[in-house]
Amino acid sequence: MKLVTGGARSGKSRHAEQLAASHERVLYIATSKIFDSEMAQRIQHHRDSRPTHWRTVEQYRDLNTVITPQNDAQETVLLECITTLVTNVMYDAAGEKPEDEWDFAVMEQVVNQQIDILLAACAASPAEVILVTNEVGMGIVPENRLARHFRDIAGRVNQRLAQSADEVWLVVSGIGVKIK
């Protein structure tokens, strides 16, 4: 498993796509959900920019149904992105409760269950798996409660993924540096 991380607009997605493109066949797992018109445009832009021969699955939960022992070893799996997956799972766990009633410890448990499923799936799959995530810990401490908890949860998830990964790439200003 390879992990590619970096800040927003750092070039991490392009770097991960270049790593994946070294293989002829790619299964692209998109973790975004459309929740407004801007997000719909972003998702459409990503769909349009991917090579047409890449297979795409749009899913952010229970990724063991997509990353499996039956994956073709000749196909690379590229998952974009972990921080969006974390966001979606957190909001799922929050349900309809108002934000001031959210239990972030429970939300993190639900996120970790999904990350456990993902890590087990990656270990069982014969395909090379590339995960993309945002590095969230290099900025200032966010001023609001939700952003602080998100940063903490995503940061701990990134640490787990980096520890499990065979390779870790940090992308800064479009330049990838292999750090593991």
* pLDDT 10s digits, 131-163: 999 999 888 888 899 999 999 999 999 999 999
CA distance 10 to 25: 25
Instruction: Inform me whether the pLDDT recorded for 35 exceeds 80.
Output: no
CA-closest candidate to residue 111, choices 150, 167, 56: 150
Residue 52, pLDDT score: 82
Residue 38, pLDDT score: 83
pLDDT level of residue 107 (50, 70, 90 thresholds): very high
Instruction: Inform me whether the pLDDT recorded for 22 exceeds 80.
Output: yes
CA distance 67 to 128: 10
Give me the percent of the chain exceeding a pLDDT of 70: 100
Give the type of residue at 78: L
Question: What's the domain count of the chain?
Answer: 1
Give me 26's structure tokens. 């790619």
Residue 74, pLDDT score: 93
Residue with more model confidence, 80 or 49:
80
Instruction: Inform me whether the pLDDT recorded for 43 exceeds 90.
Output: no
Q: Is 23 a catalytic residue?
A: no
CA distance 108 to 82: 14
Residue 83: give the domain boundaries.
2-178
CA distance 144 to 78: 32
pTM over 0.85: yes
Residue 120, pLDDT score: 98
Residue 16, pLDDT score: 95
pLDDT level of residue 11 (50, 70, 90 thresholds): very high
pLDDT level of residue 75 (50, 70, 90 thresholds): very high
Residue 152, pLDDT score: 96
CATH number of the domain within which 159 lies = 3.40.50.300
Instruction: Inform me whether the pLDDT recorded for 87 exceeds 80.
Output: yes
CA distance 1 to 129: 5
Please identify which of the residues 15, 23, 45, 46 carries the catalytic annotation: 46
- DSSP letter, residue 23: S
